[in-house]
Amino acid sequence: MAVFLTKNAIEALVLRAQREKAQLELNDEREPGLRLRAGARSAVWLLVIRLATGKRSRIKLGTWPGMGIAEARAAAHAKRSEIVQGSDPNAEKRAAAKQAAAEARQRVSLKDVLDTYENLVLKYHRRGTATRRALDGKKGLLTTLASRTPGSLDRLELGDLVKKHARKAPISANRKLAYASAFFNWCVDEGIIAANPLEKMRKPAKENERDRYHTLGELREIWSATTTLGYPFQQLFQLLIVLPHRREEVAALPIADLTLGADDVPDSGIWLLPAPRTKKANALRVPLSPLARAIIVEALTHEERPKDSKFLFSTTGETSVSGFTKAKRRLDKAIHDARAKAAQARGESSEEVERMEHWTVHDLRTTFNTHACELLGVAPHVADRILNHVATATRSKVMRIYNKSELFEPRKIALCDWANLLHERVGVPRPQKQPPSASQIAA
């Protein structure tokens, strides 16, 4: 009911609202739509009016007693005039708040935005930690810009950084560019920046499909050189030859994922590789050949391995093994030293010994795939499954969807045949007939 607003009427309403802890209103009879709403904590002036769109809206004018009755009526009259001309004060207020929030986000440092990105996005990615390091870690692409705001970064400046990183590590620079571009796309979606400064920027380095694989003679040299490394890298590199899985998958192998099987059935062991630890999130049961089992047993029982570690390969006991670059360098040196020693035995100069052609640990997978298919007659789709590939080249899309077979038995036969080839043509010693029992290993 509309009443003639007075100070006494308003104060009485406010006291009643505080006492009853309720919201009460008084409508003004002089100014249409003007009302005072009192609650337990405050009293506000409102203008209730229908907009040009036909939508009914409440517009806050001020608070009592800061705004008096005459001031509230004047403010209501002025707002009504604006609305008649097509204005929507509430929409304008929301737009202003949105703009203020966007401006506030634009003033946040790049590091703070990256922290938010990690909490909202990267922590759900399997390689989120590595991605964050590539962005602003010790050698990250954006490390030197951490104190800047994202909006202050331009394409030219970022392009120079990409080129600088490419001079030292071309392929790594390609990856960092991709990670940074994804981050800036997220910033655009969040309204932090207007456009991605790295959009459509070309990779600094050309990536060719690697075709490097080892001859059986080279495999013999690599295997022999691993014996100079000691635990854990001797067994790690050997297992990477026998089980052609990705380095990270083997290096961080938890003991809990291993089932070694019975001692009198050395080919019954299984490594359960869970989906979160694979590149394509493909879980896989990996059959262990007797040779693979023997290498695992040797690593498990090695005196230098921390006994309480949950990892097969560890030097700290708390984390899986690291330091692959240095270990690979030691392995390459051992190979070259062996070649030099052989040259001296033949009466040749060791200074003219040719080094082994550059290779990476990943090339061991290509080596297995090549020899398994060419020398052992392993079917390409079985070799692909051993490598845990999606196998788009060897299986149709329909087959990949409906055929979920692990091909466990064919893979087991292929890996045992591969181990026999390593014994017979690479000179890898055969495992002991009576390896330590599983109970001894557990103890």
Per-residue confidence (pLDDT) for residue 138, from 0 to 100:
92
Q: What is the tens place of the pLDDT at every residue in 132-172?
A: 999 999 999 999 999 999 989 999 999 999 999 999 888 89
Indicate whether 194 pLDDT > 50.
Answer: yes
Indicate whether 400 pLDDT > 70.
Answer: no
Q: How far is CA 191 from CA 184, 186, 232, 241, in A?
A: 10, 9, 48, 49
Q: What is the tens place of the pLDDT at every residue in 235-292?
A: 999 999 999 999 999 999 999 999 998 878 888 899 998 877 766 567 789 999 999 9
Strands, sheet with 34-38, edge to edge from the N-terminal-most edge strand: 2-3, 24-28, 34-38, 43-50, 56-64
Quick one: pLDDT band at residue 208, thresholds 50, 70, 90?
A: low
Q: In residues, how long is the chain? A: 443
- Distance, in Å, from the CA atom of 64 to the CA atom of 409, rounded to the nearest integer, reads 82
Indicate whether 401 pLDDT > 60.
Answer: no
Which residues share a beta bridge with 62? Answer: 45
Per-residue confidence (pLDDT) for residue 206, from 0 to 100:
83
Residue with tokens 């290498």: 295
Indicate whether 131 pLDDT > 80.
Answer: yes
Q: What is the tens place of the pLDDT at every residue in 10-32?
A: 889 899 999 998 899 888 888 88
Indicate whether 439 pLDDT > 60.
Answer: no
Average pLDDT over residues 361-365: 94
- Distance, in Å, from the CA atom of 371 to the CA atom of 214, rounded to the nearest integer, reads 9
Per-residue confidence (pLDDT) for residue 440, from 0 to 100:
42
